Structures are given as structure tokens and as C-alpha cells.
A and B are shown apart, each in its own frame.
Chain A
Amino acid sequence: SQQGEEDPQALSIQEGENATMNCSYKTSINNLQWYRQNSGRGLVHLILIRSNEREKHSGRLRVTLDTSKKSSSLLITASRAADTASYFCATGDRGSTLGRLYFGRGTQLTVWP
């Protein structure tokens, strides 16, 4: 399986603190994506980082990618209670047109007011 694996499985922090989640994957990729899932809802795309990028920002989100270690991290700065959700990384097959997309088990983030 090319499934990404997020770490930690659960993270609990106070509002205003930063939250860092990590993702490891197994094979070559052309990009890596992060998604968010609020309880009971479908996943929503957050950010995509290409294999030739090392860092990317979007608002309070910062994503890094280290292809040599096959790992990525998602940093949420100045967390808010509304950031409470599960976060998943997703990878696909490099060079394939079949379009498979694999997700990890996710990190459950809880932000306390």
C-alpha cells in the first residue's frame, strides 16, 4: 500500500498554540495533499505541495516536504477551537494516469478554548 501515515494519532493543545502533524509515505510522489475532516463530514482539501517544493504557506498553514525522507509536516499556527478536526495526508502514484489516491489514518486535533 502507498498509504500515508500521520503522526501523532491524536493531538490536544490550547488555543493560540501551534499544532504540528507529520505524514510519512512509501513511494515516489508528484505531490502530497493535506485534507481536513470535521466530525461526521466529508474531507475538505487544504493544501497541495509538489515534489519539487520544500515549503508552502496558506494563511495559518505551513506545509513542508522532504522527499529524501518521504515525509511531510503540517503546521497550524495560532490554533483556534474551530481548528478541531481530523487531518489527513494523501498521496498518489507518480507517473500513473490511473489516479489512485491514498489516505492515511489521520491525526485527530483537539484545540481547547
Chain B
Amino acid sequence: DAGITQSPRHKVTETGTPVTLRCHQTENHRYMYWYRQDPGHGLRLIHYSYGVKDTDKGEVSDGYSVSRSKTEDFLLTLESATSSQTSVYFCAIRRQGIENTEAFFGQGTRLTVV
């Protein structure tokens, strides 16, 4: 799957606990993204990164933080998980180009907050 791996693939956690999802790429692409997918909402951008230590908020960033200390890893942290954060999370990567290039997606992480 285009050199992108998400871990874990499934996780069940309790409300109030911290959770970190990892996205790892072997493509050396500049851009990395975290999306969440919920029924009726499609994919919503949580945070994205346009370089090492360069990140910015997306549409639904409240309750989430990210870090990118090296090109290949983009971490998404839920500081204190809530039931509303139960979702399927997708990481995507994209190389830099003169114009928007195609994105490659990981297989997703299904997170359940109980």
C-alpha cells in the first residue's frame, strides 16, 4: 500500500485515557495527513503536516494533537479520549509537486472509546 503503515489497526480504550496513533511512511513524501471518517461525514481533516516539525490544524482538530519529528512518522494523539472520538482514522501521504499530487492512504485505524 504505497509504503504507508498505520498502527495500531484496532484499539479499544477507555474515556479519559491518552491514545497515540502512528503513521509511518517509507516514501519520503513531504505531506502527511490525519483524517477521521464517520458515517454521513465523509473524510474530515484533523491535522496535516507540510514538513518536519511543520504541522497545522484541519477542520476538526479540537481534542487532537500531532507531532512530526522526522519525515517518516506522523503521530496523532488524543490527550483524553472521549466517546465522540470513536471513529476510523486514516493517514495519508502526498509528495510535493507543482500542483496537488495524488494521495496514498493507509489502511485505517478503528478506534473505539468506551
Contacts and interface: CB of A to CB of B under 8 A. Distances in A.
B50 A97 contact: yes
A91 B104 CA distance: 15
B102 A42 contact: no
Interface stretch (B28-36, B61-69, B70-78): B28-36
Contacts of B42: 3, 6, 88, 103-106
B100 A42 contact: no
B99 A99 contact: no
A99 B30 contact: yes
A43 interface: yes
B98 to A, nearest CB: 8
Given A30-B100, A41-B108, A101 B56 contact: no
Interface string A1-38: 10100100000000000000000000001110101000
6 contacts: A42-B90, A42-B106, A43-B92, A43-B105, A98-B50, A102-B45
